[in-house]
Amino acid sequence: MAQITAAMVKDLRDRTLAGMADCKKALEETGGDMEKAAEWLRKKGITKAGQNQARVATEGAIQSYIHLGGKIGVLVEVNCQTDFVARTDDFKNFCKDIAMHIAGRDPFPLYVSDEEIPAAMVEKERAFHMEKAREQQKGKPENILANIVEGQVKKWKKDICLLDQEFVKDPSKDIRSLMLELSAKTGEKISIRRFARYALGEGMQKKSEDFASEVAAQIQKAQS
């Protein structure tokens, strides 16, 4: 049986908002498999956040964020179930944080979740890493290379999917955890539906500037 660490329990807790004891039990029952543990909790009716996320959310807000000087702009749509929650400070602050994260994250997200990534793009990324692995680790069995490549593809997905990214203001949490925490606090489904990010001169030949670092500096300044 895989060793169940405190970090694993915390990760499952952040993801499901179930109790620590329940998370530990779920991991023990599923051999430390995070996905199976989350499913185990859901089937037992323990996952509070999961219950909220199954509902329909049609209210919410569209939040904008413009970086100082107008160099980066973000629009993000966040949904909840009632207008009451949409007007709360907790919801408004969450929307602002998400918009700021999208502006300041490097690399910035391309999709909300990995479900949105085109299958052809995933296969292209997988083929790229497999070819590279075969060149750099000649002689290793194909199944070993396949496991290595899947790990690399998983990391790539995490880098480009908003929900899996570490929050720029608190890297100990990812965006999905923040969303589920707000869902548990409000008792409603919270979902990030879509976003758009624009950078001044994007796609045009111009002097290279590190906009993401500038946004990060503004975030740090606002917190001080």
Q: Where are the alpha helices (DSSP H) in 32-174?
A: 34-43, 48-53, 83-86, 89-104, 119-136, 142-160
Residue 111 φ/ψ, nearest 5 degrees: -135, 160
Determine the topology of domain 6-46 in CATH. Helicase, Ruva Protein; domain 3 (1.10.8)
pLDDT score of 77 = 97
Written out in words, the top-level CATH class of the domain with range 59-112+161-223 is alpha beta
Q: Where are the domains of the chain?
A: 6-46, 59-112+161-223, 118-159
What is the pTM assigned to this prediction? Answer: 0.67
Question: What pLDDT score does 55 carry?
Answer: 60
pLDDT at 166: 94
Residue 209: per-residue pLDDT? 53
pLDDT at 53: 55
CA dihedral sign, ordered 217, 62, 75, 166: positive
pLDDT of residue 50: 53
- Contacts (Cβ under 8 Å, ≥6 apart) of 215: 67, 72, 100, 103, 104
Quick check: 24 and 46 in contact, CB under 8 A?
A: no
Give me the CATH code for the 118-159 domain, please.
1.10.286
**What is residue 37's predicted lDDT score, i.e. its pLDDT?**
86
pLDDT of amino acid 47: 62
| pLDDT under 50: residue ranges of the chain | 208
